[in-house]
Structure 1
Amino acid sequence: MTTPLPATPYDRVAYPTTVFPQTHPDRLFTLARLAGLDPVLPQEARILEIGGGNCMNLIALAAMWPGCDAHGFDLSANAIARGQEIVCASGLTNVTLAVEDICEAHHRYLPGSFDYVIAHGVYAWVPDHVRAATMALTAHVLSDRGVGFISYNAMPGGHVRMIMREMLLDAVGHIDDPDQRIAAVRDFLEDYARPRDDDELLAKTLRQQAENMLLRPDAVLFHDELGPCFNPQRLRNVVAAGNANGLIFLTDAGRNRQLDGFLPDSTHLPDDPDAAVLDLASRDDYASLRYFRQSLFVKQAPDRVIDVDRIADLWLSTTMQQQEDGTFKHGDDVIEIRDEAFAAGLIHAASIYPQRVPLSQITTDPALLRVIVQLCSEWYVNLHPGPAPFPVAPSDLPCSGPLVRGMLELGEVTLCTMNHSVLKIEQPELRALLMAADGTRSVAEIAALGTGIPPEDTLAALTACCSKALMQN
């Protein structure tokens, strides 16, 4: 008889359902390839998510790649039950979810059985022995060609968050009810975030952190800031833990951190390249007051010198938009690109997003490929092993993504797209259209169903759904 696992705080307050683009195997594949490694194509890979809650992040990957083998587990029975409900409603057959303890999971999974291992939001929020088990499990299950992702609150910014945590725990006192705890925290943060005339630099930093915390959902505040464990980590210590388990630090998956595992172009090759990149990254953590890291680990020794030819056969997608003055804008950032042919290629890529274009159609110039690497590290462009796994236009029998239909069936408003993003869809007509597009009906037959969309607009509406990555090939 199996002993049931104990209830967790995540059974009391569910963690928000979402996807995490920084964990996307396309990104991990690209960074491993850049380091001269031979990662497995994500669409054919075995993927494990450790402590993934309801594993929506994993489920979205499985829906995108029917040929992958996706496994995930969490200690929260409620979270896994919800994930299994979503999998069942979506009809996905390549997802296996389990209620499991990180410390026991090595019994469940065979050595070297996964090509991508994701542990997001776990490592710094568990006791010491569970943290050690997380790294050991990653090493145990990771294949020789695999890439492991481990995120954590980092130092030295973690010191600031620990000060805030002490204040918040003092503010909630002995309040046990989750709603009351969250209310007490928000009352405290709203008051504390107001600047004072006599604020010193540290106080200003703490008040800015309080403002940022107020923007987080209640469940994130409840778990990330008030959870029983809160252990920010130094990069050096995380890398040492990986090394002790036979893992090698590759680089970081975060924005502006993706080149941390590589030597600067002008650097003479040192005797110990691994130590050199770790020294540079660690010093930058303190210079930049780093709050968070998303470290990647591998089993094969990476090349610390970038060779851009390794990415020449990849595909590119981007949402950068050219402005009237010729510059490109991405969010609030402005990028100047002077090479006209190169700029034209990026304009074309943006015009067909979320579709992708072969990088070779944009440039084969090594100097411009280096620009692509930099743009990718800043998240202005994304690189992929191949074309998008979703169509440009509706097929003869249009079919929305399985996870899209599954979430609609469960009454969800925020849907996971086939592009590993989320999109809120509240319009009844559009929801009805997506449910009707199940791969068994032609456009004319869907138009005749009376979804609320005028029949003559049905094809245009389905084409728009393709442009939002809501349809499958």
Structure 2
Amino acid sequence: MSASSKNDTNETAYDVVPYQSWPFAQSHPDRLAVMAKLFGLDPTRIDRSRVLELGCAAGGNLLPLAQTYSASRFVGIDLSARELCDGQQTLDQLSLSNIELRQANILDVDASFGTFDYIIAHGVFSWIPTEVQEHVFRLCKALLRPHGVAYISFNTYPGWHMRGMIRSMLTYHTRQFSEPREQIEQARGLLKFLSHSVPTKGNPYGAYLQQELEWCEQSDDSYLYHDLLAGINEPTLFHEFVDRAESHGLQYLSECDLASMASCNFNKDVDETLQRLSQDLIQIEQYMDFLRNRTFRQTLLCHREHALDRTLNPKYCRTLHFASPLAPESSSVDLAEGVVERFAASGIAVNSSNPMIKAAHVLMSRAWPVWIPFDQLTHEAMRLASIDPTDEPQRQRRSMQLGEHLIRCFASRAVVVHSAPPTFETVLNDRPAVTDLTRYQAKTLGYVTNQKHEVVQLDAFCRCITERLDGTRTTSQLTNEIHEMISNGQLRYTDHGDDSAQSRSQLNELPLDKTSREVQWALDQIRSVFLLVASFRNSSSSSPN
């Protein structure tokens, strides 16, 4: 993201080397709302909110949100004219009236912008001068609504000590070159030289340096230029960041990821020592940074006057939705009390002998990837486990047990939590649709943004089909259109390892039923990466608040 301390709109480094403008799932208002709810706040619904992003670049993070939540309002500011021009070109192709991209300095943002439920500053804080950082805190205090949440990411110590050392090497070497592209080329040359020259065997410095060098070498040019060669890049210790926030009337809410806050994810001895060493949450978080050698934080702030509930009370689950990819290892789950069943996926596992909890995992596994409202999950789990729903004391007790379990699973990444229903479609209907933004990205970019706010790479065949999913074509009409394109040599099938592995020269001679199978395969791919939506979601006619 681009930001600057200058008070003019002259060409910036981001005009010369634009930063790739991605969606950042971790900054999605849904993530912020979940964490706020778990700690006792009452945040605004994400589909009826106002969102401000500082350093929005070309709008890669805001535009998908504006497309999905038509009754919310989004404002993005950035200093780079080039980045904003790219964003405005995209915006001009969409019928969105609920988003504004403005060229402005962070220091120029004031009360005239209005108030917001969510403020996002990703990849900005560490790269702006101290006085601008202080203004970011002031803005969060002044512009956040009472239960609003601010997301600020920043580089942190101790991890950035090593990365900062590499940055010092690169800035020393590249200072003799004036052109950005030459600086990038020279920086990569130095990284390669260091990687090949420093011994790693029996050399802890060399081994650690090699690890960091590999990470840097894999980074794209824009990251290398703006993050490692930037004139300003000032990491901070976590407790110092919190102290500064508190001086502006803010307080630490949480990280955007509950699992990163869970000291229980360390072994038992470490967890017990952390609890003994630390007097409060801020100290625990700081010590965990020391243990993890943390380099980067994604921290949430809120107004200091709120008395946050740090107990992770299961009563807050009532307004949340839950999903889990964990599947039962048994072919027939025994829901009887005391019988242990195991649910697992991707190296994460949960064991339980509680009938209610086992039933909930069965239900989430069946529904995956769709998430289920807590009350519905409770009701259906009781029915599946043959628990009498009219026994109110038992219902309350079982509900609390399930809530406690789900929060623990969320802290270990065994469960995914959301504040609102999903916006993607899991069933392929006869007139499949994606958002207007997705179709535009499929046509103009090498990637698209899905309904989970993630970047998805599609091959040329899938992109061609995605461009046409406006909800007006039936699958049959789409197949005929694609077949004609193939027959005319405008498009080729995707060779994905089935009977399409014929020579490319023969592909345009294959019959219509072959095209039908290929189109169905592509639609299944598009569905599986959460791109499909109901047709009405393409409409942005609702008036923003």
TM-score range, shorter chain: 0.7 to 0.9
The equivalent of 1:82 in structure 2 is 86
More moved, 288-297 vs 393-402: 393-402
- State the SS of the aligned residue for 2:22: coil
Give the alignment partner of residue 167 of structure 1, picking from 162, 166, 169: 169
The equivalent of 1:400 in structure 2 is 434
Give the alignment partner of residue 442 of structure 1, picking from 474, 480, 502: 474
Q: Structure 1: how far apart are the matches of 2:82 and 2:353?
A: 54
Q: Does residue 328 in structure 1 map to residue 344 in structure 2?
A: yes
Q: Judge conservation of contact 1:30–1:311 (CA < 8 Å) in 2.
A: no
Q: How does 1:1-400 map to 2 (within 5 A)?
A: 5-106=9-110, 108-110=112-114, 113-194=115-196, 196=199, 200-254=203-257, 256-259=259-262, 276-299=280-303, 300-320=306-326, 328-330=344-346, 333-339=347-353, 342=357, 345-346=360-361, 349=364, 352-360=367-375, 361=377, 365-395=399-429, 397-400=431-434
Q: Structure 1: how far apart are the matches of 2:117 and 2:427?
A: 32
Q: Structure 1: how far apart are the matches of 2:258 and 2:199?
A: 32
Q: Structure 1: how far apart are the matches of 2:107 and 2:53?
A: 15
Task: Tell me which structure has the larger Cα radius of gyration.
Answer: 2
Q: Structure 2: how far apart are the matches of 1:226 and 1:256?
A: 32
The equivalent of 2:510 in structure 1 is none
Once the two structures are TM-superposed, the CA of residue 457 in structure 1 deviates from its matched residue by 6.4
Q: Judge conservation of contact 1:115–1:145 (CA < 8 Å) in 2.
A: yes
Deviations 1:265-317 (A, max 9, x none): x99xx9xx9x7111211222223222111111111331122102211442123
Q: Structure 1: how far apart are the matches of 2:351 and 2:190?
A: 46
Q: Structure 2: how far apart are the matches of 1:126 and 1:327?
A: 46
The equivalent of 1:420 in structure 2 is 453
Q: Judge conservation of contact 2:251–2:301 (CA < 8 Å) in 1.
A: yes
Deviations 1:9-38 (A, max 9, x none): 111111123211111211111111111110
- State the SS of the aligned residue for 1:450: helix
Q: Structure 1: how far apart are the matches of 2:124 and 2:280?
A: 28
Indicate the percent of aligned positions where both proteins have the same amino acid. Answer: 25
CA, structure 1 residues 211+396, in 2 after alignment: closer, same or farther (shift >3 Å)? closer
Unpaired segments ≥5 residues, structure 2: 1-6, 332-341, 382-397, 487-513, 535-545
Q: Structure 1: how far apart are the matches of 2:318 and 2:152?
A: 28
The one-letter code matched in structure 1 to 2:373 is: P
Once the two structures are TM-superposed, the CA of residue 349 in structure 1 deviates from its matched residue by 3.7
Q: Structure 2: how far apart are the matches of 1:388 and 1:193?
A: 45
CA, structure 1 residues 414+348, in 2 after alignment: closer, same or farther (shift >3 Å)? farther
TM-score norm. by structure 2 comes to 0.76
Q: Structure 2: how far apart are the matches of 1:199 and 1:339?
A: 48
Q: Judge conservation of contact 2:449–2:456 (CA < 8 Å) in 1.
A: yes
Q: Structure 1: how far apart are the matches of 2:93 and 2:237?
A: 42
The one-letter code matched in structure 1 to 2:351 is: I
Q: Structure 2: how far apart are the matches of 1:108 and 1:395?
A: 45
Deviations 1:402-460 (A, max 9, x none): 21112123x212001122111111223x3332222213333443344335583476567
Once the two structures are TM-superposed, the CA of residue 224 in structure 1 deviates from its matched residue by 0.8
Deviations 1:351-393 (A, max 9, x none): 6544222345276554443342233234443211232112222
Unpaired segments ≥5 residues, structure 1: none
Q: Structure 2: how far apart are the matches of 1:228 and 1:125?
A: 8
CA, structure 1 residues 197+146, in 2 after alignment: closer, same or farther (shift >3 Å)? closer
TM-score norm. by structure 1 comes to 0.87
Q: Judge conservation of contact 1:149–1:294 (CA < 8 Å) in 2.
A: yes
